[in-house]
Amino acid sequence: MNSLRGKTAIVTGASRSGGIGTAICLALAEAGADIFFTHWIPFDETEGNGVEEEWPQRLKDRLIGMGVRASHMKADLEDDHAPKRILDRVKRTIGTPHILINNATYCAPSTIRTLNTDLLDKHYHVNNRGTLMLTLEFAREFEKSNPDGGEGRIVFMVSGGPDPDNLAYIATKGALKAITAPLATGLAPFGITVNSVDPGPTDSGWIDEEMGQAFLPMFPMGRLGMPEDAAKLIRFLASSDSQWVTGQMIESNGGFLGK
């Protein structure tokens, strides 16, 4: 399978071996894409699912072992300068990117009693401002490098549902859903498609045994979602076969009933 040979993909948020970001990197590399990924271990250390400090280098080595070029960098999307730094590093180390997978996210519990402006701003800065500025940096670079047109791909990882414990997270992910269609319309003349993927509850390290037992009856296929499930859909959306698919919010959740 070499459908992405000659393409370069940026995948944000690949900090852990069991995460969706890592699964996406591996799936795209299997299709032949060169991979540039970002990671931000301080989030995993304080609010995420645990630190794997050596994982970025191990992932890079694994990708290179698959026969593709790979590079990575630390990047905090809360930093206003991060989007340009990411694009500059990609161009220096691998080349002009064709694919952008916006997987990095910020998520911390927020309820009707705990949500405040600081917490909301933290979610917004990463999930919306940083993500959208990176998206526009990518699109502008793609247009400059492909003046006669080409095939570019942008995917947002999103979420939703009536979750009263993650109000800020759901609100900011909802904003990405809302901008998917208008952004797809604006970038269509460049040959860039824009889609959102909602993977539903995915066993990427945050689902403990109690939560797993609660979720399982809501999956009609009898198992929890895995990072590889989302990665397979994203590999299709990154390919030439998906050129006519744009402006869509696609659920890849095994028919999850707990919406």
H/E segment holding residue 175: helix 167-187
Residue range 75-100: average pLDDT? 97
Task: Give how far Cα 12 sits from Cα of 87, 113, 133, 144, 164, Å.
Answer: 12, 31, 13, 22, 27
> Which of 205 and 170 is assigned the larger pLDDT?
170
Average pLDDT, the chain: 93
Q: What is the pLDDT of residue 225?
A: 83
What's the pLDDT tens digit per position in 100-147?
Answer: 999 999 999 999 999 999 999 999 999 999 999 999 999 999 999 999
Which pLDDT tens digit goes with each residue over 216-228?
A: 888 899 888 899 9
- The answer to whether the beta carbons of residues 110 and 119 sit under 8 Å apart is yes
**Active-site residues: which are they?**
169
193, 154 in Cβ contact below 8 A?
A: yes
Whether the Cβ atoms of residue 239 and residue 28 lie closer than 8 Å to each other: no
For 6-46, the pLDDT digits (tens) are: 999 999 999 989 999 999 999 999 999 999 999 998 766 55
Instruction: Flag whether pLDDT at 197 surpasses 90.
Output: yes
29: CB partners within 8 A, 6+ apart: 35, 63, 66, 68, 70
* Residue 244 pLDDT exceeds 80: yes
Q: Output the CA torsion sign for 60, 3, 96, 28.
A: negative
Start-to-end Cα distance in the chain: 35
Please tell me the least confidently modeled range out of 25-34, 36-45, 86-95, 197-206. 36-45
**Alpha carbon 119 to its chain's center:** 21
pLDDT for the residue 208: 80
Q: How far apart are CA 50 and CA 238, in angstroms?
A: 29
Which structure tokens are listed for 197?
């993927």
| pLDDT > 90: percent of the chain | 78
pLDDT given at position 211: 84
| Contacts for 196 with CB less than 8 Å, ≥ 6 apart | 155, 156, 157, 158, 176, 177, 180, 248, 249, 250
Q: Report the distance separating Cα 173 and Cα 167, nearest Å.
A: 10
Write the DSSP assignment of 102-154 as a string of letters.
Answer: E-------B-TTT--HHHHHHHHIIIIIIHHHHHHHHHHHHHHH-TT---EEE
Residue of 50, 10, 47, 228 lying closest to 131 (CA atoms): 10
At 119 the pLDDT is 97
Predicted local confidence at residue 53, as pLDDT: 75
Whole-number pLDDT of residue 32: 98
Q: Where are the domains of the chain?
A: 8-251
Nearest to 22 by CA among 65, 51, 56, 46: 56
Dihedral pair phi/psi, residue 157, rounded to 5° = -90, 125
Give the pLDDT score at 1.
Answer: 65
Report which of residues 219 and 93 the model is more confident about.
93
Assess if CATH 3.40.50.720 describes domain 8-251. Answer: yes
% the chain with pLDDT above 70? 95
